[in-house]
């Protein structure tokens, strides 16, 4: 897992260089469908892009009812055998939607060959969550080629350069780095992630990484909604919780006030604030994603667990295949 984590920037570049032929179409709506480590790419894209067409992320067996022949469906399944994603692909075909898939193989690749649909083939052999750079940047490649991510080259370049900087700072040989220090703070607690809604994908990624890499329960909640319910319970919250506030220089004044009010409610509770880095929105998003990946890895080491295997998920797939 550490080897894949250290190759994150290079995997992003490799994904952008994949050759793929796409139809010259202008979709009226877009859906990214995928589960787990594959589906999170859709959430991050939703954080990043302000599309001028409806955009949804589907993490279920059924596409939105409005999907039709004018819609673009991007189906991401790293294994190629994800039950929910395959079901959505069949529905997309039935609705005659424009379809592009991203996978390392499996039944999804076979279906695309049979149906003559575009398939972006990424390298196999990784856990789906470790393959996020391939899933995300392959989807970015699709958006670029279809003219849905215009004038984003500068943001993409800045993001990859910043990822390399973060890799150097969070490397294992640096004992007193930010990721290790936050992992030490979290160790032995249940981490609660609070983030503004425009960083929803980032927070979900961190929660999932705590689940799968660190093998612990975690939770993510979002501003401003949590200010209308969750803050009422903070004074009586269990002592074995830790709180991670994800912050971004692009947040509004209203959001800033709500976040800082919530921080005050915690008083001296075990908490820390993690600020996004970079100028462009994509860089700020990925700086948090990459740092979070390192935190979850180092927490796994502190917990004495191997971050790579996820036997419960493997068992579920075996029983439901």
Active-site residues: which are they? Answer: 212, 228, 317
Q: In 17-152, which residue ranges form alpha helices assigned H by DSSP? A: 36-48, 83-94, 106-115, 132-145
Q: Quote the DSSP letter at residue 61.
A: S
Count the neighbouring beta carbons within 10 Å of the beta carbon of residue 100: 25
Is residue 29 within 8 Å of residue 72, measured between CB atoms? yes
Contacts of 194 (CB under 8 A, 6+ apart): 203, 220, 221, 222, 223, 226, 243, 244, 245, 246, 259, 262
Q: What b-and-e string marks burial along 213-248, b requiring 16 or more CB atoms within 10 Å of the CB?
A: bbbbebebbbbeebbeebbeebeeeeeebbbbbbbb
In sign, the C-alpha dihedral spanning 99, 142, 140, 56 is negative
Phi, psi of 102 (to 5 degrees): -130, 120
Count the neighbouring beta carbons within 10 Å of the beta carbon of residue 254: 10
Is residue 219 within 8 Å of residue 230, measured between CB atoms? no
With tokens 């069949």, the residue in question is 90
Radius of gyration, CA atoms only, the chain: 20
With tokens 């529905």, the residue in question is 91
Up-side HSE of residue 202: CA atoms within 13 Å toward CB? Answer: 30
């Amino acid at each position: 897992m550490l080897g894949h984590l250290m190759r994150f920037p290079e995997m992003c570049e490799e994904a952008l260089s994949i050759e793929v032929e796409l139809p010259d179409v202008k979709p009226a709506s877009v859906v990214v469908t995928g589960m787990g480590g594959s589906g999170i790419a859709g959430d991050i894209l939703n954080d990043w892009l302000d599309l001028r067409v409806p955009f949804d992320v589907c993490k279920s067996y059924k596409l939105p009812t409005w999907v039709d022949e004018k819609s673009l469906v991007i189906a991401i399944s790293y294994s190629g055998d994800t039950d929910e994603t395959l079901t959505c692909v069949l529905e997309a075909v039935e609705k005659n939607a424009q379809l592009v898939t991203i996978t390392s193989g499996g039944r999804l690749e076979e279906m695309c060959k049979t149906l003559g649909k575009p398939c972006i083939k990424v390298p196999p052999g990784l856990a789906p969550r470790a393959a996020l750079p391939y899933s995300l940047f392959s989807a970015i490649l699709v958006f670029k080629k279809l003219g849905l991510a215009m004038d984003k080259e500068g943001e993409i370049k800045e993001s990859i350069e910043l990822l390399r900087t973060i890799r150097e700072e969070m490397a294992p040989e640096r004992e007193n780095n930010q990721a290790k220090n936050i992992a030490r703070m979290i160790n032995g607690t249940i981490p609660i992630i609070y983030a503004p809604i425009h960083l929803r994908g980032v927070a979900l990624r961190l929660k999932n990484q705590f689940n799968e890499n660190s093998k612990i329960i975690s939770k993510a909640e979002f501003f401003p909604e949590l200010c209308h319910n969750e803050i009422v319970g903070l004074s009586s919250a269990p002592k074995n919780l830790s709180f991670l506030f994800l912050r971004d220089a692009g947040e509004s004044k209203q959001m800033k006030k709500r976040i800082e009010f919530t921080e005050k409610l915690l008083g001296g509770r075990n908490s820390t604030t993690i600020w996004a880095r970079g100028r462009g929105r994509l860089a700020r998003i990925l700086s948090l994603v990459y740092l979070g990946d390192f935190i979850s890895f180092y927490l796994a080491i502190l917990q004495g667990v191997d971050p790579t295997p996820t036997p419960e998920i493997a068992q579920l797939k075996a029983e439901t295949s």
